[in-house]
């Protein structure tokens, strides 16, 4: 079998996207959902794999801007809409598309990183992508768990507003949060609508999304978007609050929004969407054991240009180390790199000096945002220390004060 990779012609988007939907089970999406993804698709950065007249593979890229340690924003290629038809699996189609994407990203020279979320986490490691962030999910029993809020939460004004009319205010809060936590995406035009997607067929008995704003000092200081799924038994109401997203600029507004969710009438459970693993609500509750907390991998990071990527972030403590990187899929990254950096910035250049640490590009991607300690990777045998003390030094420098987090998928 020989397949041909072609750039996506916008006129055949429906067929191309239909093959993607088919590969993921074939259940049609709601019209508003597919319409939004059509609008967001960058056709010039999307490809199809063709076998004769048939599309047998799809892959796309989004032009993202990603927050990195130190508060910087770095261009990143968001790998998306990747699929291979069942008739053509294990024939090199995925590998060919991954090869084409990374070659194109490197040739353009604008994005030192590629990022993705994976339907199956073991697929992309062989192409150099490392799991760099985790999301936390919870089901909080609000009949048994109490919430303690900090001083000032009672002074925060809460106001219910129509979902669409609150978008500008919510986005202003979100934009101020992006640089405070690695792994968040700047919302380029159109992406503010992604968190609002709410097809009736996906609600599973819950209400349409609702929005409440927090206001402090006369300004919007936070927001929460949620739905309520009613339920009753012989003992009475036991509805579920379905939390979509919650952001706030200060602890009082944050706690006031959480207290609002805890106090909603006729409910007994809060089921969260993805939250940071260090989300402060975990320290406001009286009994974390009754919150059914669980973790899942989220953002995978791939360094397309090792030197440029390591220079693009800052480091918590001063670091001076030589990294020997292996990267068989992108051999231009192979070799030794001298990283010199601190909280103000960094430089990373090729060197012939002896290595201090040895690791693969996948593991460098996992550690890049500060969420996976190099010491943990070393404990798994995936990082080797060549100079005594280098592992501790680098681990401390790569660490971040807050856990990296991807707020929504793509």
pTM: 0.96
How far is 68 from 81, CA to CA, in rounded Å?
A: 24
Catalytic annotation, residues: 124, 410
Q: Is 93 annotated as a binding-site member?
A: yes
Domain 136-295 grouped into CATH 3.40.630.30: yes
User: Distance from CA of residue 361 to its chain's centroid?
Assistant: 19
Q: Is 95 annotated as a binding-site member?
A: yes
Q: What per-residue confidence (pLDDT) applies to 1?
A: 61
Which has the closest alpha carbon to 131: 399, 385, 368?
Answer: 368
How far is 343 from 69, CA to CA, in rounded Å?
A: 9
Q: What is the per-residue DSSP string for 15-63?
A: HHHHHHHHHTT-PPPPHHHHHHHHHH--GGG-EEEEETTEEEEEEEEEE
Cα-based angle 348, 349, 355 (whole degrees, multiple of 5): 90
Taking the domains of the chain in order of start, what are their residue ranges?
Answer: 4-128, 136-295, 306-398
Q: Is 84 annotated as a binding-site member?
A: yes
Q: What per-residue confidence (pLDDT) applies to 234?
A: 87
Superfamily assignment of 306-398 in CATH? SCP2 sterol-binding domain (3.30.1050.10)
Q: Do domains 4-128 and 306-398 have the same CATH topology?
A: no
Domain at 4-128, CATH from 3.40.630.30, 3.40.50.2300, 1.10.287.980, 3.40.50.300: 3.40.630.30
Q: Is 228 annotated as a binding-site member?
A: no
How far is 132 from 367, CA to CA, in rounded Å?
A: 6
Q: Which two tokens stand for residue 331?
A: 């051999």
Q: Is 149 annotated as a binding-site member?
A: no
Q: Locate tokens 């459970």: which residue? A: 269
Q: What per-residue confidence (pLDDT) applies to 103?
A: 98
Q: Which two tokens stand for residue 271?
A: 């089921």
CB 63 within 8 A of CB 77: yes
pLDDT (tens digit, 0 to 9) for every residue of the chain, 410 residues total?
689 999 999 999 999 999 999 999 999 999 999 999 999 999 999 999 999 999 999 999 999 999 999 999 999 999 999 999 999 999 999 999 999 999 999 999 999 999 999 999 899 999 999 999 999 999 999 999 999 999 999 999 999 999 999 999 999 999 999 999 999 999 999 999 999 999 999 999 999 999 999 999 999 999 999 999 999 998 889 999 999 999 999 999 999 999 999 999 999 999 999 999 999 999 999 999 999 999 999 999 999 999 999 999 999 999 999 999 999 999 999 999 999 999 999 999 999 999 999 999 999 999 999 999 999 999 999 999 999 999 999 999 999 999 999 999 99
Q: What per-residue confidence (pLDDT) applies to 2?
A: 83
């Amino acid at each position: 079998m020989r397949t041909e990779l072609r750039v996506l012609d916008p006129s055949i988007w429906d067929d191309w996207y239909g093959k993607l939907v088919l590969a993921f089970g074939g259940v049609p999406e709601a019209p508003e959902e597919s319409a939004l993804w059509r609008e967001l698709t960058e056709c010039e950065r999307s490809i199809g794999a063709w076998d004769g007249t048939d599309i047998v593979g799809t892959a796309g890229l989004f032009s993202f801007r990603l927050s990195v340690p130190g508060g910087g924003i770095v261009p990143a290629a968001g790998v998306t809409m990747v699929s291979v038809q069942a008739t053509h699996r294990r024939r090199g189609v995925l590998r060919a598309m991954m090869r084409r994407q990374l070659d194109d990203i490197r040739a353009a020279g604008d994005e030192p990183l590629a990022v993705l979320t994976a339907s199956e986490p073991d697929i992309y490691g062989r192409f150099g992508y490392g799991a760099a962030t985790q999301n936390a999910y919870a089901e909080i029993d609000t009949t048994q768990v109490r919430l303690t809020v900090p001083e000032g939460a009672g002074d925060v004004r809460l106001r219910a507003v129509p979902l669409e009319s609150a978008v500008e205010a919510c986005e202003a809060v979100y934009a101020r949060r992006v640089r405070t936590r690695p792994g968040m995406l700047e919302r380029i035009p159109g992406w503010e609508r992604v968190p609002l997607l709410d097809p009736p067929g996906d609600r599973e008995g819950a209400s349409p999304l609702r929005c409440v704003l927090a206001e402090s000092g006369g300004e919007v200081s936070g927001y929460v978007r949620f739905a309520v799924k009613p339920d009753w038994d012989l003992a009475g109401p036991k509805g579920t609050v379905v939390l979509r997203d919650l952001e706030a600029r200060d602890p009082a507004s944050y706690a006031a929004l959480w207290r609002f969710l805890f106090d909603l009438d006729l409910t007994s459970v809060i089921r969260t969407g993805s939250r940071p693993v260090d989300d402060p609500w975990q320290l406001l509750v009286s009994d974390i054991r009754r919150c059914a907390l669980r973790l899942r991998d989220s953002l995978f990071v791939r360094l397309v240009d090792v030197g440029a990527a390591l220079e693009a972030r800052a480091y918590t403590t001063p670091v001076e180390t030589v990294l020997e990187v292996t990267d068989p899929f992108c051999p231009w990254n192979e070799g030794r790199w001298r990283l010199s950096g601190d909280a103000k910035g960094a430089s990373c250049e090729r060197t012939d000096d002896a290595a201090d640490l040895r690791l693969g590009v996948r593991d460098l991607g996992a550690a890049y945002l500060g969420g996976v300690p190099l010491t943990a990777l070393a404990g798994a045998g995936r990082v080797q220390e060549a100079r005594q003390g280098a592992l501790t030094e680098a681990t401390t420098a790569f660490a971040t004060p807050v856990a990296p987090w991807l707020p929504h998928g793509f």
